[in-house]
């Protein structure tokens, strides 16, 4: 068994990811800003730390997954942050989805403090985190990837070393371009069918085995038709990811027309107070425009 592993951030994604590390026999030191979220892990044997610095003082490998770059910066560089107690040669594996340019800045900062930093964002949503079947996209140095790969595979079905630092979050941005556009297309198609008076379930059954089938269509159809918008991935977090895409695309000089459209649709819904809903609630944009609702036909 490896020595204690640090894990910071025990939200919708982080908690089940940490649990999967423990299921594979790893001892964890954990920190979360809201300590109550760590209770279940502590009851199962994890050591609760009061600050990120306490995690860093005890662990040579530290995973973190928080909301965005300012949160990563606070965990790393804050008054009680990781860098105040980083062990020489320790590696910080940042699994947050952030702007790739921010990842590159954090890499330099951690290197200056004698450690290593990798960006390793994930895809697969809450269920993928629970099942240990996340897709993990990794940027960083070769030696660091070799050091943490087996740990990553405790949380994901695949971990791909894409390239140097920032490559993981470039890949995650590409992933979000495809998934957001796909999600919008699912909402548009189902609303179109419902407005035309055709049973959306029969439409799904008819086309799911053809070229229109997708993981997004399969995973979100039952939630949409059942009007279940309990978040697996919140609109608020999805819009954050799309902001990262738009910011990075501007820096790289790349057109992202479909992403811009998805961003505007999601922003409209967030302004209506739906930010805590699952991202499949993008269907409500089309429903409002069409004056109809996608639901089970009795």
Query: Which residues are catalytic, by number?
Result: 172
- Is 17 in contact with 126 (CB distance < 8 Å)? no
For residues 46 and 20, what is the distance between their CA atoms, to the nearest angstrom? 12
- Is 76 in contact with 62 (CB distance < 8 Å)? no
For residues 153 and 164, what is the distance between their CA atoms, to the nearest angstrom? 20
Residue matched to tokens 């910011």: 247
Facing residues of 278 across strands?
Answer: 234
- The CA-based diameter of the chain, rounded to the nearest angstrom, is 65
Contacts of 219 (CB under 8 A, 6+ apart): 125, 127
Residue environment code for 258-272, b if the CB has 16+ CB neighbours within 10 A, otherwise e = ebeebbebbeebbee
Q: Tell me if residue 286 falls in helix, strand or coil.
A: helix
For residues 194 and 203, what is the distance between their CA atoms, to the nearest angstrom? 9
Nearest Cα neighbor of 108 from 97, 98, 122, 119 is: 119
For residues 280 and 234, what is the distance between their CA atoms, to the nearest angstrom? 9
């Amino acid at each position: 068994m490896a020595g204690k592993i640090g894990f910071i951030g025990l939200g919708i994604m982080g908690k089940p990811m940490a649990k999967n590390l423990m299921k594979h026999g790893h001892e964890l030191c954990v920190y979360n800003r809201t300590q109550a979220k760590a209770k279940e892990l502590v009851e199962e044997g994890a050591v609760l730390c009061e600050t990120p610095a306490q995690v860093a003082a005890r662990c040579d490998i530290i995973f973190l997954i928080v909301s965005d770059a300012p949160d990563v910066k606070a965990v790393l560089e804050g008054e009680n942050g990781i860098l105040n107690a980083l062990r020489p040669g320790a590696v910080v594996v940042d699994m947050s989805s952030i702007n790739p340019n921010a990842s590159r800045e954090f890499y330099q900062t951690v290197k200056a403090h004698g450690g290593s930093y990798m960006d390793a964002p994930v895809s697969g949503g809450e269920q993928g985190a629970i099942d240990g079947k996340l897709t993990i996209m990794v940027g960083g140095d070769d030696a660091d990837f070799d050091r943490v790969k087996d740990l990553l595979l405790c949380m994901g079905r695949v971990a791909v070393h894409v390239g140097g630092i920032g490559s993981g979050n470039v890949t995650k941005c590409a992933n979000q371009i495809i998934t957001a556009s796909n999600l919008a297309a699912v909402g548009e198609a189902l609303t179109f069918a419902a407005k035309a008076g055709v049973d959306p379930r029969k439409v799904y059954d008819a086309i799911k085995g053809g070229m229109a089938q997708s993981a997004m269509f399969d995973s979100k159809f039952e939630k949409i038709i059942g009007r279940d918008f309990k978040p697996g991935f919140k609109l608020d977090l999805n819009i954050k990811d799309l902001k990262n895409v738009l910011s990075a695309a501007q820096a790289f000089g790349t057109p992202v027309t479909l992403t811009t459209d998805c961003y505007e649709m999601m922003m409209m819904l967030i302004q209506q107070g739906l930010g805590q809903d699952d991202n499949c609630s993008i269907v409500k944009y089309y429903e409002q425009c069409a004056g109809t609702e996608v639901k089970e036909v009795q």
